A and B are shown apart, each in its own frame.
Chain A
Amino acid sequence: GAVVSQHPSRVICKSGTSVKIECRSLDFQATTMFWYRQFPKKSLMLMATSNEGSKATYEQGVEKDKFLINHASLTLSTLTVTSAHPEDSSFYICSADRDNTGELFFGEGSRLTVL
């Protein structure tokens, strides 16, 4: 089946620093990717839609200057958490839509801890 890979799987950083998370589609091209955030024991919350070659579309309440998204190629989207603070600590998961069929495949997730 389709494979989506995220890196890093875990990251610990100091408050005030920026962290970049990569999401790659390994065996298909993805014009659209999605970024989700999950708090402990909660459901997944959609943060933004990443579109190859154009600006990301952010969900209401998500700060676009805090969570920078870049989708520079058909196989790579990146999420940069800028000037991270402890409240940004969370599990971030990306997903990719294979060939615009609507079926999404998810990466392994990246657990961010901000000290």
Chain B
Amino acid sequence: GIQVEQSPPDLILQEGANSTLRCNFSDSVNNLQWFHQNPWGQLINLFYIPSGTKQNGRLSATTVATERYSLLYISSSQTTDSGVYFCAVDGGATNKLIFGTGTLLAVQP
């Protein structure tokens, strides 16, 4: 099946810093989503982005489907950005999402 790898696995930032998270996938995909899992376990939808670029406030994402990767940019990070960021892709005939390995982000004041 499709493999989804994220980097870096862990990231520590000072408040106000910028960061880039990467998601690589092993096959062509129909859908790609980015999520933020908060400390209580809730998955928050960030972007639905099978291709192209989107922006939402301090966050933006770019997916280059032909090269099988996606990037999530976080600018001017805040302590509330802390948590685990997952990308997930759907590469098959069904629309089930396969999750990546995740990036654990800690933003320090």
Query: Does A91 interact with chain B (Cβ within 8 Å)?
Result: yes
Determine the interface band of chain A, counting residues with CB < 8 A from chain B: 20 to 34
Query: Does B86 interact with chain A (Cβ within 8 Å)?
Result: yes
CA distance A108 to B41 in the complex (A): 7
Q: How many residues of B contact A (CB 8 A)?
A: 22
> DSSP class of A's interface residues: helix, strand, loop or mixed?
strand
Chain A min CB distance to B67 (Å): 21
Q: How many A-B residue pairs have CB under 8 A?
A: 53
Chain B contacts for A44, CB-based, 8 A: 86, 88, 99
Chain A contacts for B40, CB-based, 8 A: 108
Chain B contacts for A91, CB-based, 8 A: 41
Chain A min CB distance to B39 (Å): 12
Query: Does B95 interact with chain A (Cβ within 8 Å)?
Result: yes
Say which residue of B33, B41, B90 sits within 8 Å of A93 (CB atoms).
B41
Q: Mark B21-52, 1 if CB is under 8 A from A, else 0.
A: 00000000011010100001111010010000
Residues of chain B whose beta carbon lies under 8 Å from any beta carbon of chain A: 30-31, 33, 35, 40-43, 45, 48, 86, 88, 90, 94-102
Residues of chain A whose beta carbon lies under 8 Å from any beta carbon of chain B: 1, 32, 34, 36, 38, 43-46, 49, 91, 93, 95, 97, 100, 102-106, 108-109, 111
